[in-house]
Each structure stands twice: as structure tokens, then as C-alpha cells.
Amino acid sequence: MNKLPVALTRHDANKIARYTKRRKQFSAAFYALCVAIALLSVAILVVLLMSIGIEGQSRLSTDLLTRSHSELQPQRSGMWPAIVGSLLVCGTCGLLALPLGIGTAIFLEEFKPRNRWLLRLRSFVQLNVSNLAGVPSIVYGLLGLTMFVYMFNLFGQIQVNQSSGWELMGAKHLYQVLTLEPDHAVFIPQTNRNQNQITIDRPLDGLDQDWNPIAIDVWAPGTPQPKDPEVRRRTVAAGTTGGTVTDKAWYYFRLPLDRSFLAGGLTLGLVILPIIIIASQEALRSVPSSLREASLGLGATNWQTVRDVTFPAAVPGIMTGAILAMGRAIGEAAPILMVLGATISKESGPRHLMDNAVTMPVLIFNWAGRQQQEFKQLSAAAIIVLLVTLLILNSVAILIRHKIQQSQP
């Protein structure tokens, strides 16, 4: 068979040349399309940043950073409570997710079992982590709402922000009773939690507004009132009723967690947990196994190997993943909205562990959805603050990584 196949002999050189030329042109056109589309993503980012910058620049003022939201004065509204709230919520979130996530990653990467069944279990956990990463954050929000805010109603049917559930620490319940002096009250410690009111009919020991113990006198109507303001301030008309107030220390804690920043932080922790696990696993996986072998060959146990060799080598990678995850947490609005509610009228950051909080993304969401032009501009300004916060976070991460890499010989 010395004859060439027909397909190779029949060719017309011109035709092939033309065809090749067309193929080349097509390829060049495709290349141009690639460049154009790749540049499109840059253009989108530029348009995004510019439009928000233009919209928000007029509202970038100290008012924005120091004041709180005001329904009536849009022009003087600010986001101070939201900044504090965001930082606290993210702090809580990191405290939960970082140890848990890094621990899980170490377990999955460094303690691989040899037993077949355990290996299967491990790959199940691994698959589970990947799936958790794909669960929409709003479902985590619903989980947070059910698990932390209501706690599956294990503590009885609870009306949010009305019942106090199981108070564990930091709460002092008092009756507040008005004295003869206008706008002045004394406080009587509560002994029976079920009794919400007290009627004063005899002298009692109580506290003044600065929590100093005082003796409370009773003035019977009909008799002359004391004149001395000092005395009037600790004298109560007989028959006056007092309602319950609760003084909450910063460590006030109760179950269920209610719409507290703690619940919000924990929920966010669940959202970023899979991200941290996956990033840490990748960081650990990139540590060369020769280091692991060297350590084990020297008679180190698995844990000693992790502690002294693998983990230190993986720290920069883990840090990067953790910072990325924290960035995600700061910008996440949906779960926070579910857990903390949509109200933004707080005037300060959280005062105690069970206090509600506003976060930046929720505030942005609220402002952006309003009709008034002022609020829309404020929203853009708040976005600028949020993006700058993210920028700072990432720069800190780069700096820390740099430091760590330098300090490691």
C-alpha cells in the first residue's frame, strides 16, 4: 500500500490555505473577544466603585462616623452603632469559628485513620463540610433564629424581647418607685421574681440612683410633706406602686440568647466555619509531607508533629483564609437580618452580652431600600466605610503574613 489515502491526495492547496487563514482569523477574533470580556470585569469594578463614590462622597463626614441613625434627621444620621456592632459581632464570630474551623481542619488533614470504616467516616465529614459551604447564608440565618434566638422553644414559648428566659448571671431586678421629688426614683431589690409590682406602705431599705443603700421613708397623704429635698428624695407616698426594672451588667447572660449580638455572632460563625475549614485544610495540605515524615521519624507523635512542625508552617495560609472569611462575615447581611431583626434605631453599640446590635450591612440594606434621597446617599457613604474597613482588614492580614514569614528563619 504505497498509495496515499484519497483524503490526502485530493487536496487543493489554495483551498487549504484559505481555510487555514480563516481558522487563524477566527482564532484571533476569539482572542480579541477574550481580552474584551476580561477587561469587562475590570470595567464593572471601576463603574461599581465610581458610582458608589460619586453617590456617597457628599455624605462622608464626621457625622456619619460618630452619630446614630435618625428617622427624622436623615441629613445628620450616622453609623457609629453599626460600626461598633459589626466589630463586636465579627469578633464573636471569629472566636467561635476560628478554633472550631482550624481544629476540624487539623483533624481531617493530620489524623487520617487507617481503618477502612473510619476512613469512610472521614470522607463523609469531608463531604459534609463541602456541602455546608454551599448552604445559602440565609438558611444559616434561619438556623440561628431557631437555635440561638428561640432555642427550639426549649425554655417555653418566648416572645422576643419580652420574656427574659433563664437568666444565668449579671441581672439585678429592682422595683422602681417614684419619690416625692419630681422625676426622682428609688429602687428596691426584688426578692420574688414572679411579683412584678410592689406597693409601698411601710418604710423599707432600698437603693438610690447611684446604688447606695438608703432607708426609704413613707409619707402618708394628708400629713405635711417634708420640705428638705434630701429627705424628699428618699420619701415615697404611701400606696405608690413600683414596676420592675432590670439592671444588666455587661456580662448579663441568659438563655435563650434572644436577638443579641452574641446570637448574631454565633450565627455568622456557622456561616464562615466551612470557609475556614476548607482554607485551613488547603494550607495544611500544602505543607510538604517530607517535614511530617521527618518529625514522625524522630519519634514525635502525631500531635507533636502538628504542634511543632505542620501547623507553624501552615500559619500564613491559615491566616489568609481566616481573614478572607472574616471579610465575608463583615459584609454578610442576610443571617444578621434574620437573627437580629431589621431594626436600626439603636443609638449605641451593644451594652451587654444580650444586647441587640446593628451591623453595617444591615444598615446599608435598610437605607438603600428607602425612598428619601438622603438615605440613599447615606447608604453609599456607609458602603464606602464598609469597603474601607474591608481594605484595612486585608492590609492588616498582608502585614501580619509578611511579619510571620520574616520571623520564620
Partner 1 sequence: MPLSSTTDTTPTDPQSQRGRTLIRIQNFNAWYGDFQALQDLTLDIPRHQVTAFIGPSGCGKSTLLKWINRMNDLTPGARAKGGISLLSDRPDEQTVDVDILDPNVDVVKLRRKIGIVFQKPNPFPKSIFDNVAFGPRLHLKTTKSELDELVEWALQKAAVWDEVKDRLQGPALGLSGGQQQRLCIARAIAMGPEVLLMDEPCSALDPASTLAIEDLMFELRSQYTIVVVTHNMQQASRCSDRTAFFFEGRLIESGETRKMFTNPDKNQTDDYVRGKFG
Partner 2 sequence: MALPKALQEQDFKSTTTGMLSERLIVSCLALCALTTVLITVGIIYMLISQSVGFFSSDQITLREFVTGTEWTALQSKQLQQSKFGILPLLSGTLRVTTVAMLIALPLGLITAIYLSEFASPWIRSWLKPTLEIIAGVPTVVFGYFAILVISPSLQWFSGGGFATFNATSAGIAVGILCLPMVCSLSEDAMRAVPNSLREGAYGLGCTPYETAVKVVVPAAFSGIVSAFLLAFSRAIGETMIVALAAGTLPTFSADPTRQAQTMTGFIVEMIKSENEYGTVQHFSLYAVAVTLFAITFLMTLLGQMIRRRFQESYE
Q: Which residues bind partner 1 (CB under 8 A)?
A: 112, 114, 119, 288, 290-301, 304, 308-309, 312-313, 408-409
Are 279 and 87 spatial neighbours (Cβ–Cβ below 8 Å)?
A: no
Q: Which does 99 bind (CB under 5 to 8 A by kind): partner 1, partner 2, none?
A: partner 2
Cell of 20: 487555514
> Which of 389, 283, 376, 399 lies closest to 329 in space, CA to CA?
389
Residue 389: which residues within 8 A CB-CB, separation 6 or more? 83, 86, 330, 360
Establish if 379 lies at the interface with partner 2 (CB under 8 A): yes
Between residues 189 and 288, which has the closer beta carbon with respect to partner 1? 288
Q: Which is nearer to partner 2, 186 or 362 (CB)?
A: 362
Binding at 37: pick from partner 2, partner 1, none (beta carbon under 5-8 Å per type): partner 2
Give the separation between CA 244 and CA 228, rounded to whole angstroms: 28
Which 52-111 positions form the footprint of partner 2 (CB under 8 A)? Answer: 52, 55, 99-101, 103-104, 106-108, 111
The three three-digit cell numbers of residue 202, written as one number = 411601710
Candidate residues 17, 19, 44, 76; the one interacting with partner 2 per rule CB under 8 A: 44
Cis status, amide bond into 256, omega within 30 of 0: yes
Q: How many residues bind partner 2 (CB under 8 A)?
A: 90
Minimum Å gap between C-beta 301 and partner 1 is 6
Cα 359 from Cα 338, distance rounded (Å): 12
Residue closer to partner 1 (CB basis): 137 or 295: 295
Residue number with CB closer to partner 1 (182 or 297): 297
Longest CA–CA separation in the chain, Å: 135
Among 53, 60, 67, 138, binds partner 2 (CB under 8 A): 138
- Residue 373 engages partner 2 in binding (rule: CB under 8 A): no
Nearer to partner 1 by Cβ, of 201 and 308: the residue is 308
Report the DSSP pairing between strands 198-199 and 241-255: antiparallel
Q: Which does 30 bind (CB under 5 to 8 A by kind): partner 2, partner 1, none?
A: partner 2
Residue 296 interaction partner, one of partner 2, partner 1, none, beta carbon < 5-8 Å per kind: partner 1
Query: How many other CB atoms sit within 10 Å of the CB of residue 395?
Result: 11
HSE, side-chain direction, 13 A CA sphere, residue 284: 24
